Amino acid sequence: MSDDSSSTKRRKGSIRSKHHRLWNLSEVMKLIEGVSRYGVGRWTEIKRLLFSTSHRTSVDLKDKWRNLLRASGAYMTSKKKVKRTQKHMNLPLPPAAVCRIRELAIIHPYPRERKSKFPLRVTGTPPSATSHDTIISRSRRIASKQGYT
C-alpha cells in the first residue's frame, strides 16, 4: 500500500535495517531542553552538551527541530484556517513537550538572532590576544574528516 516516505528509507549502502536510526521521545526531549536552555541555532553546543554521543550533526538537529515544529503546529495560517490543525496526525509527543516547542518556536524567531549582545565593549576593544584557544576537544574530531591536504 502506501510506502513509507519519512523514516524507513534505506539510502545508498545504508544497510541499517534494524538498528537505532529513529528519533524517539528521548531525543526530542533532549532537543527541547537544549533549545529552551541555550536557544535555537545553537545546535553545535547542544550537540556537544546533550548529544555528545551518536553522529548527529547540526543538520540532523535542525532537521529534527523542523519536524517538531510541524508536529507541534507552531506556525499556522493563523488567518483563515482556524478550523482544524491539519487533521489528527500521529503525535508521539507528550503535551508537555508540545507546549514547550510551541513556546520556543514563537519566542525564538529561528534565525541567528542572538542580538542580545548589548554589553559589547565598543570603547574598550579588548585586545583578546592573551589566549591561543587550545580547543583540543574540537580540533580532534575535525581532523579526522576535514583534515585533508
Partner DNA sequence: CTTAGGG
Partner DNA sequence: CCCTAAG
Residues that bind DNA (CB under 7 A): 9, 11-12, 14, 21, 23, 40-45, 47, 56-60, 62-64, 110-112, 138, 142, 145-146
Residue 73 · residue 102 · CB < 8 Å: yes
Cell 550533526 maps to which residue?
57
Residue 14 · residue 7 · CB < 8 Å: no
Give whichever of 58 and 85 is closer to DNA, judged by the CB atom.
58
Smallest distance, DNA to C-beta of residue 127, A: 23
Q: Which three cell numbers stand for residue 97?
A: 513537550
Measured CA to CA, the distance from residue 130 to residue 135 in angstroms comes to 15
Smallest distance, DNA to C-beta of residue 18, A: 15
Q: Which three cell numbers stand for residue 64?
A: 529534527
Smallest distance, DNA to C-beta of residue 98, A: 20
Give whichever of 111 and 124 is closer to DNA, judged by the CB atom.
111
- Cα atoms in the 13 Å half-sphere on the side-chain side of 78: 4
Residue 92 · residue 25 · CB < 8 Å: yes
Give whichever of 45 and 85 is closer to DNA, judged by the CB atom.
45
Give whichever of 57 and 86 is closer to DNA, judged by the CB atom.
57
Smallest distance, DNA to C-beta of residue 25, A: 15
Measured CA to CA, the distance from residue 96 to residue 72 in angstroms comes to 11
